[in-house]
Amino acid sequence: MAVVKVPIDRVITGHKAVREALRDTQTYSSDLQGDADVRDYRQLPLEVDPPKHHAYRAALAPYFVKPFVEKFAKDFQSNSERLLEEFFSQDGIDVVSGLALPLVMHNLGAFYGRRQDVEEWISWGPDVWTATGKNRDGEVLHAYLDRVYEEAITNPSEDIWSELARLEVDGEVITALEFRGIAGIMLAGGRDTVVKLLTGIVWHLGNSPEDVQWLRSEPESIDRAINEFLRYTTPNTAMARTTVPETGAEELPANRYVSMSFFSGNFDETVFPNPGSIDLKRERNPHLSFGFGPHTCIGNHLAEYEAKIFLQTILDKKIEWLIDPKSEISFYEGQLSSVPKEFTSLYTVKNSGN
């Protein structure tokens, strides 16, 4: 999910306070223009408040409900098998760029009926805003979105973009700008986040062969394990809200932005005993990795299902690996120094001791 870059004045922390604030859309509004350096339109339904938010959300919900997501089991399975096979049959491949990103893109290609675009999406790297280099830039994404919208209007087919171009919200077909706002987040929201989750799974299991053994012996615990991986990796650490809704406001105070720290909620020791440790057996796991309240991630089932099939496929392969110290991983500081903040690269070596 793209980070909504705005100058933050205040951070809300702690599981209870973050959940309360996320529910209170009157005080903490999502009516804001994020990433103003790279886009001048709203990501939808992300940057709009109820009741309009509800209309967008209702129109998109059918694409993300569990029964729809689970129709793609075979595609996700064959993508996981093929890419894991390729990954473990060669040495020196980076998990982030050589396994997780291609897998997530092939999965989305199947899910959206746009397999022909997968190589192009992979070429952008995990973050679409830095696809052209180090500087943030919306060029690549916007050129793509404008192109597929044009195609969808002039030569409609059965893929996601043609369906979205015809989408009705509150009885009206969406505009080209609304298409950008919806399609942009549907493409960008499930890339770097799922990539971090899958990379975190490979990282942890490489460091803890005993957890691999345990999961192999207790396959019914996979869902619980995925929840803990979601909590521990917190792929989207925070999102912004504004105390002054921006649409039509006469004055916009500079200090209007408040950050909702999902990360602090996920490591709140009053809710998660020993939060700095990965405990795949954790019984209660109300993590905030998908947010909370009306804007709770619409792609949550998709992300969980991709991760579940990926993990199941790993467990079915009788392979053991360790983490190569040449991997570039940054960690949080202080008490959470064992928690990875970012995987720039992750390399594995075969564990010949097993």
Binding segment (CB under 6 A) for ligand HEM, from list 67-75, 84-92, 132-140, 291-299: 291-299
Q: Does 297 bind ligand HEM (CB under 6 A)?
A: yes
Binding segment (CB under 6 A) for ligand HEM, from list 132-140, 159-167, 190-198, 328-336: 190-198
Contact 330, 341 (CB under 8 A): yes
Q: How far apart are CA 338 and CA 205, in angstroms?
A: 14
Q: How far apart are CA 288 and CA 169, in angstroms?
A: 28
In the region spanning residues 52 to 71, those forming contacts with ligand HEM, defined by CB under 6 A, are 57
Q: How far apart are CA 133 and CA 140, in angstroms?
A: 11
To ligand HEM, the closest distance from the beta carbon of 306 in angstroms equals 7
To ligand HEM, the closest distance from the beta carbon of 197 in angstroms equals 4
Q: How far apart are CA 344 and CA 130, in angstroms?
A: 14
Contact 151, 179 (CB under 8 A): no
Q: Does 289 bind ligand HEM (CB under 6 A)?
A: yes
Q: Does 239 bind ligand HEM (CB under 6 A)?
A: yes
Contact 232, 278 (CB under 8 A): yes
Q: Does 99 bind ligand HEM (CB under 6 A)?
A: no
Q: Does 340 bind ligand HEM (CB under 6 A)?
A: no
Binding segment (CB under 6 A) for ligand HEM, from list 94-102, 135-143, 235-243, 263-271: 235-243
Q: Does 295 bind ligand HEM (CB under 6 A)?
A: yes
To ligand HEM, the closest distance from the beta carbon of 351 in angstroms equals 27
Q: Which amino acid is at 303?
A: A
Interface with ligand HEM: number of residues (CB under 6 A): 24
What are 208-214's contacts with CB under 8 Å, separation 24+?
208/278, 209/320, 209/351, 209/354, 211/278, 211/280, 212/315, 212/320, 214/280
The contact set with ligand HEM (CB under 6 A) reads 1, 45-46, 57, 185-186, 189-190, 193-194, 197, 235-236, 239, 262, 289-291, 295, 297-299, 302-303
